[in-house]
Amino acid sequence: MTTVFQDVAVALVLNGQSDPHRAYGRRQREIIDLADTEAAGREITNWPDYRPTPLVSLPGLADSLGFDRLWCKDEGQRFRLKSFKALGGAYAVLHHLQRIAGAAAGQPVSAASLVAGEARPLVRDVVVACASDGNHGAAVAWGARMFGCRSVIYLPRHVGEARRDAIAALGARIVAVDGVYDEAVARAAADCRAQGWISLPDTSAGGDNETPNLVMRGYSLLAGEILDQLPKGTLPTHIFLQGGVGGFAAAVVAHLWQSLGPRRPKVIVVEPERAACLAASAAAARPTRVGGALDTVMGCLACGEVSRVAWEILQDGVDAFVTISDDAIAPTMLLLAEGVEGDPPIIAGESGAAGMAALLAIAVRPKVARAIGLAPDSRILTICTEGAIDPASFKRMTGRPPLACGAGRSG
Ligand SMILES: Cc1ncc(COP(=O)(O)O)c(C=O)c1O
């Protein structure tokens, strides 16, 4: 394990702006506050098949790395979409449909009446649209189907067939964009303006932030689940969060910051080295775009531009930004699937494994580990943000089908 992870390229940007005693601010509360998270939770926990995803304890891996505790929240078990993204995109669809249906009916329309079909005639001609690296589009298409409207999803060049077919199977019309994620975002926004469709971006370039805020409020439910699931009286000292445009990390940070104040864990945001717009923004102390092909096996993190609303939270709430090279991912996926020393297996997709991959690479670099305060008494939380959504890709990466490989004990 050591040799593999020693070869991984790791770069660290420590964030001079973070301060555990800084209060969660007024501007940040406008984007997402605890009442917003509770409102999202009241809706989402009533959707068919909702249940919290497991917080898996990994004592074998913690021991082998020399840390006190290690957990992995397994979002591969989130609804049937296998990604936390289901929480955000579908919540935004619901919010907009309730607004439209409520205006048409002249009275509030419940999510239940949309799910049950009674209110569907009010929304069935509505079209919601977004760009996606895969999972946000699946979430919007799934929400459109659950609540009864139509969806159009814009996929950038690098999104593979399996993800595309999964979104189409949810009833969406797919538009293939011959460009990177940020180009798909621009194309989706332009078509929405021209067609009168509802645009549901998971990222904000400034301007109207309503939908990116809603999306993050939906994600933040998972941070509340984590606080409920941790052993009583035990908090993590560190949390590793994947970064694409930053919305996911910002949602989790916002919730932990407000709920725990100075007791919140140190936050480490993890990005692919070739799509590290958050690390670049931290280094420049302002939102900074990165260009190029953004090619990485961590396809859902292949974003060149930060979400402005996410940055409002991340700029003060993140302790360190880490970038890793692609060679960290396959061994991490395999290690998680096999389970170390009887740990329960976790089936992670490429982007889902990135947080743990960064931890494994840092654990064999004492200087980097010290710089972020990792020590033998550390209690570390990682999030597997997606399962094996593309089974063929999982097999290519690990040499195995996406089934639990190890003997692993459960719990
Ligand atoms: C599996 C997975 N992990 C992490 C992320 C990062 O989320 P964000 O783009 O909000 O930073 C994404 C985004 O699509 C994702 O699909």
What's the rounded mean pLDDT across residues 241-252? 98
Q: Which residues line ligand 1 (CB under 6 A)?
A: 83, 85, 133, 135-136, 202, 242-249, 300-301, 303, 351-352, 385-386
Express as a percent the part of the chain with pLDDT over 70: 98
CB 61 within 8 A of CB 340: yes
3-class secondary-structure state, position 24: coil
Structural domains of the chain, ranges and CATH numbers in brackets:
2-82+216-398 (3.40.50.1100), 85-212 (3.40.50.1100)
Answer whether residue 404 shows pLDDT above 70: no
Ligand 1 atom with minimal separation from the 278 CA:
11
Phi, psi of 128 (to 5 degrees): -105, 145
Neighbour count for residue 68 (Cβ, 10 Å): 15
pLDDT (0 to 100) of residue 206: 83
Q: Write the pLDDT tens digit of every residue in 203-235.
A: 998 888 999 999 999 999 999 999 999 999 999
DSSP, res 327: G
Phi, psi of 162 (to 5 degrees): -60, -45
Q: Write the pLDDT tens digit of every residue in 114-161.
A: 999 899 999 999 999 999 988 999 999 999 999 999 999 999 998 999
What's the rounded mean pLDDT across residues 367-396? 97
Write down the mean pLDDT value for the chain: 94
pLDDT (0 to 100) of residue 3: 77
pTM of this structure = 0.96
Ligand 1 atom with minimal separation from the 135 CA:
16
H runs (alpha helix) in 106-149: 111-116, 135-147
Q: How far is the CA of 230 from the centre of ligand 1 (A)?
A: 23
Sign of CA dihedral 41, 196, 141, 278: negative
In whole angstroms, what is the distance from residue 6 CA to residue 396 CA? 22
Ligand 1 atom with minimal separation from the 216 CA:
10
Nearest CA residue ID for atom 13, ligand 1: 300
Ligand 1 atom with minimal separation from the 248 CA:
10
Residue 201 CA, chain-centre distance (Å), reads 14
In whole angstroms, what is the distance from residue 167 CA to residue 134 CA? 8
In whole angstroms, what is the distance from residue 171 CA to residue 331 CA? 35
CA atoms in the 13 A half-sphere facing the CB of 337: 25
Nearest CA residue ID for atom 12, ligand 1: 300
Answer whether residue 409 shows pLDDT above 70: no
Nearest C-alpha neighbor of 26 from the set 231, 210, 258: 258
